[in-house]
Amino acid sequence: MNDLAADAALAAAVAREAGGLLRSIMAAATCPPAELGQRGDEEANALILARLRAARPGDFILSEEAEDDQARCAARRVWIIDPLDGTRDYADRLGDYAVHVGLAVDGVPVVGAVTLPASGVTFSSLHPPALPPLSTRPPRIVISRTRPPPVADAVAKALGGELVPMGSAGFKAMAVLSGDAEIYLHAGGQYEWDNCAPAAVAIAAGLHASRIDGAPLVYNCADPLLPDVLICRAEWAAPTLSAIADFATG
């Protein structure tokens, strides 16, 4: 059985290397945005798959950019990766994209690394940063720049909060970890690779991470659709979940 600390160190190293590759591709590319995004997805995916298969040949991998081997459903250990989270942001040469390398064991996100290549920072479940003091200001709620969920408006009104649009899921989740936001709320469509690694890092740091109805996040499902997620400071979990429930019941 692999040591989870070694798994976490591997995830961080691989995510960091993929982030460096993405920076290099962007710096050298003169291609149109769509081609830049495709190159980033494909080349980062190839690198991550090669590194994980070499280091953990007995494990399964679920990647956004690779064919899904359904044999993974019977496995205890499955790496869940998004080689370029925020492809559109990357293609537009914006900074809020990320690399996700997560590991689920028995459906639980136990290991994660999220690299933010534009800043060169990697967040790891092995050594998550200490959370900054909780701000006394109204909560900042990070949401999708392109697909803001209607529930977010209701939550912001209930909590007196401010909506802050950002790019990739990993970038938004790490904004909570860094103290640049208090709540990350998404509804309306994600997959396991969008939030497995961010959730693992968030949980390791002491943040709340769940579905928006408060149910646990469960990974390595036959259908990898995982349409909603709440990652927030623990102090804001109960009021946020209450506001979401009020919105759901009308």
Q: What is the pLDDT of residues 123-167, one digit of tens each?
A: 999 999 999 999 899 999 999 888 888 999 999 999 999 999 998
Residue 66 has pLDDT above 50, yes or no: yes
For residues 99 and 83, is the Cβ–Cβ distance under 8 A? yes
Residue 110 has pLDDT above 60, yes or no: yes
pLDDT of residue 148: 83
The per-residue b/e assignment along 104-143, b for 16 or more CB within 10 angstroms, e otherwise, is bbeebbbbbbbbbbbeeebbbbbebeeeeeeeeeebbbbb
Residue 1 has pLDDT above 50, yes or no: no
Q: What gap in Å lies between CA 42 and CA 83, rounded to an integer?
A: 8
Calculate what percentage of the chain has a pLDDT beyond 70. 99
pLDDT of residue 250: 76
Residue 47 has pLDDT above 90, yes or no: yes
- Per DSSP, the residues of 131-198 read PPPPPSSPPEEEEESS---HHHHHHHHHHT-EEEEES-HHHHHHHHHHTS-SEEEE-S--BHHHHHHH
pLDDT of residue 2: 63
pTM value? 0.95
**Lowest mean pLDDT across 14-28, 56-70, 133-147, 157-171:** 133-147
pLDDT of residue 146: 81
Computed over every residue of the chain, the mean pLDDT equals 96
